[in-house]
Chains A and B, each alone.
Chain A
Amino acid sequence: MGNNNLIQYFVEGECEEKFINVFKTGSDAFLKAGKVEVLNPVNKIITEARARTIKQNTTVVLVYDIDKGNIDVLLSNIKTLKNHSLTKIIHIQSVMNFEDEIVRSTSINSIDEMFSTKGVENFKEKFIGHKNIKSKLEKVKFDNSIFWSKVYRNGQFKDFAIKGSIKNIRKE
């Protein structure tokens, strides 16, 4: 039994964690299944111990916002992963952040419209704790072909902004 199809996601926060976990299973899944861990790859170091636990040939998907973070941390993490022969690394960039991606790929005009929230932190709480986020997103006409598809070729992470990167984690 090979492990050629193993995927490990490192994501910016709990919203991304929930989003991927919800959309990686079921008949309407559009993302490839994989283990999801909240570890912001542009903000937090992937330790040697952490990297050693990732099985060989695993595809590592780094999901991060481009409006904050540090390129040096990202470069250090890439180096660590490569030192452990984890060479299949995919960058998924939220432009500029997760909330912007949601607004862009739905019919809402501001993030607070989704749950009638007051501010981003309030939105995050509601999103993470929601019982059926799939149906909630459906109600605001979520279009998964738009989500994580925008490329922003400016800023410190521009070298990893690759058009079509999302295709690598989209279910065939």
Chain B
Amino acid sequence: MSDQETTQLTYVSMAYAVMFYAAAAILVVGLALRIGRFLRRPAPLRGIGGTSSARTVQAATDMVLFRGTFFSDRLQWIFSACFHFGLVVVLLRHMRYALDPDWVGPLVWKVVVLAQPFGLYGGLALMAGVAGFWARRLLVKEVREASSLGDHALLALLLAIPAVGYLNNWVHTDVVQVKEFFVGLATLKWQPLPTDALLLTHLWLVALLMVLLPFSRVLHLAGVFEKRDDTPLGFSLGRNKRRLAIAGVVAVVLLAPAAIGAAAVAEEGWTVPQPDFSKLARVHKNLDATVMIRNHPNFLMGSRSIVVYQGVRTEINRIEQCVTCHVVKGADKQPVAYDDPKHFCRECHNKAAVSIDCFECHNSKPLPPASKADLETATRFAALMSRFNERSAVR
């Protein structure tokens, strides 16, 4: 890797690191101020009788199950449930970027691994919820008239984040590197971030949401501390000064990383969705490792069809060859199986909570050299054939 590339990578990573620190600070401080404002304000009449425990139960059902919405607007409740419960599962899936099996222990990690497939469906539920919100805003006359441009913009943002996230799932990025970036942010040991356009876009949109949240009414989480949320509708109804402040914050925090990220993407190019896998496999020893890290799932999927359906058992297509070259020897100098944390595949897959079932059927250890001779049967075949002929002739 040349010096120039290294600098580019570092610029993006640094810019994004600063952006996430700033966004997190804005989110935390904004949330605190919002809660403080609610707490200072005199409480309105609640209309809830009974003991404090009854009130607690009601507050809890309001928070967790959106009880109030359920009884006032059933359709809205369906969208809310889709969005919020989907969000929970999605966040659980994203825990793989924040937690590490080495710190949290196997039990918690199992939960994170278990959440992975559900997170994919949770994201769909989330998007369906947002789409419902938006449809309601567009189709219901009263709501449409009460909506501002800011409301639509926020819904668009909430839809764009998971949409780009899903695209990330399709055009693979180096998730282990992404994890190291975020763990590095938390532990103050900065790591580079993969320069993938889709990944950078996803992260930038998330940062944008983090910055906008304290200023928008999406932050009704703070309303838990006060039942009646009478904050202004979005930022569009705010005063000019507030708008200016928001614009300033957005510009400082978000525009610089966006520009640097765009420059880096322009430099390195978009990740090609479907590279030539035959070529990729043939030259992969000479390639930058990240190319193979990103594309090996697609490559394996393509190869398995070639082997199974076409019977082309060449070295580049056989998973046996993958595990033979990428063998890791254990303490006893013997190749380790996938159960061992040191196994070549296991090392990253465990870290990224991506479970694979290749080795439930395939052997995760290399072909023993002796059995290769067994496959050299062409001449034997001919000999057996002649023997059969002999016998047939005799009879």
Partners in one complex: no
Q: Which residues of A approach B to under 8 Å, CB–CB?
A: none
Binding site for A on B (CB under 8 A): none
